[in-house]
Amino acid sequence: MISINKSRIYGTILMVCAVGLFSSCGKDFLEVVPKGVAIAKKTSDYELLLNDRNLTFLQRAPQVVMSDEIAGFSPLYTIGSGLSLISDKNAFEYKDDIYLPTENMSELTQLEKQLYSYNKVINEVMDAEGNDNRQKSALRAEALAGRAWAHFMLVNYYGKPYNKATAASDLGIPLVTVADVTQNMFKRSTIQEAYDLIIADLREAIPNLTTQVVSRHRMSRSAAEAILGKVYVYMQQFEQALPLLESSLANLHSNSLAVGLYDFNKELSSGGAFYPISPFTGPNRLNLDIDKEVLYLKSYLNTYTLLLSGLPLTGQTAALYSAADLRQQFMTALPFPPTMVYPGGMKRCYGKYSNVGVNVSDIYLLKAECEARGGQLSAATSTLEAFRLSRMNNKILNAEKIPVSIAADKILLTKFILEERIREFAGSGERWWDMRRLIVDDQYKSTVGLEHHVYDATGKLVQSFPLKVDRLVLRFPQYVMNANPDLQQNP
């Protein structure tokens, strides 16, 4: 139990993150608190700041409804019935602007709040009261890696997919490196400048981060290595990514906190972590604080893996799962309320966790992809089969095995791994990030779906929405442009 004094300090520091950002009538890009309201002095104050739960939650996640593995179901394709927000409908339909001009909340808001907190620690903690420089360096390293993660998210919302040939000229994002709310001049970096800062922050942070995962809310060395590995994957520098992903997995084995893969055979059975299974909300996997596969927690509210049923998986997506795949227990053919059955093989996801931070399953699959792309087919097959062993019904012999004809072919194996990523993350929005990086990959761009469809209760196609290349990049919301008219908007 914390003392009264610490409690008061914590409450004061929380003011930094609690006050809203980006008011439509504001003048600054960062409206957090008036300068000087919250002052952290001791090293322990900065520790409390990094413990703030506002750093682990995102209020909006439009990528969930922009992914190509979902479809619309017209009987429930209305706001308040099967859709959550008008911005979700606009995003699914790939409209240029997904937020209404009157809205003042977006995915940008919470990420910029987090950047303020991370920059406060980065720029101040080494001068804090206290003599433990090792602790100060560790806290600063956490904040550096946190800032890198936030910038990585932002550049993949508002910048073009990384393309080596054009990254030095493609517009990125304003890079926020100070906790100063008086700033009012914000210039967009290039994509290359953004990635350079992200990499530099992570490279500086990793040596000073603990190898022990003491909390899913705090950055560890394994988590930072996984993030940097993913950054290199998005840059198509797979040879750079692989050793980082390998090291990230190797560092998981020395933790007192349980971190690793679940065996779905055990956890979906009586007494398992995902049991009991509700007929309406699915397996019991909603508490991310105790989820073994969450290495670094950045949660978001995903109503489409709870009860909202207007955007199920397509029939083609559902057909990717074999009969032995236990992940099918996280899907149902019944919308909510269960008054009908989805047509055409469509299914609704439910009971799935929503974490856009670092997931152990993602590290395994990225590692396998890097191995396959690098021609290490035997290693990629071994990594993938070890992962699939935790997902397939162990009563079916060799269900985890990759067909020999696929395992022996670099392109076919890589495509199989990309499909495995869909099977693993369906309905979570992870596919949106894959779509972005694959669209600039000449070898695999054909694997990206370029249209959303809406079907009626009989399975008849009633509407289609093509994905324009420009809409692989979000436009800045109007309230941000009102506050910052000199900020260059995306097409």
CATH number at residue 134: 1.25.40.390
The whole-number pLDDT of residue 7 equals: 31
Would residue 447 count as lying in a domain?
A: yes
- For residue 190, the enclosing domain spans 1-60+108-209
Is residue 156 located within the same domain as residue 257?
A: no
Q: Are residues 133 and 96 in the same domain?
A: no
User: Same domain, yes or no, for 338 and 487?
Assistant: yes
Residue 478 within a domain: yes
370, 428: one domain: yes
**349 and 275, same structural domain?**
yes
What is the pLDDT, as a whole number, of residue 185? Answer: 64
The last residue of one of the domains, among 168, 194, 209, is 209
Chunked into runs of 10 residues, the chain (491 residues) has average pLDDT values of: 29 31 38 50 94 92 97 97 96 98 93 95 95 94 98 98 98 93 78 98 97 94 98 98 97 85 98 96 94 96 94 98 98 96 98 95 98 98 98 98 98 98 98 98 97 98 96 96 93 96
Please check whether residue 394 lies inside any domain of the structure: yes
Residues 122 and 244 in one domain: no
Q: Assess if residue 229 is contained within a domain.
A: no
What pTM does this model have? 0.92
Per-residue confidence (pLDDT) for residue 182, from 0 to 100: 64
CA separation for the pair 400, 200 (Å, rounded): 38
On whether residue 175 sits in a domain, the answer given is yes
| pLDDT score at 179 | 84
CA distances for 392 relative to 245, 281, 354, angstroms: 23, 22, 22
Whether residues 333 and 456 share a domain: the answer is yes
Report the C-alpha gap between 69 and 452 in whole angstroms.
9
Is residue 218 assigned to a domain? no
> Are residues 310 and 332 both part of a single domain?
yes
Q: Assess whether 471 and 361 both reside in one domain.
A: yes
Domain count, the chain: 2
Quote the pLDDT of residue 335.
97
Same domain, 297 and 388: yes
pLDDT the model gives residue 236: 98
Report the alpha-carbon distance of residue 326 to residue 323 in Å, rounded.
8
Do 404 and 265 lie in one domain? The reply is yes
Q: Which of 190, 209, 228 is the last residue of a domain?
A: 209
Q: What pLDDT score does 153 carry?
A: 98
Question: Could you tell me which of 141, 460, 165, 107 has the C-alpha nearest to residue 315?
Answer: 460
The dihedral through the CA atoms of 350, 403, 369, 154 has a sign that is negative
Q: Are residues 54 and 71 in the same domain?
A: no
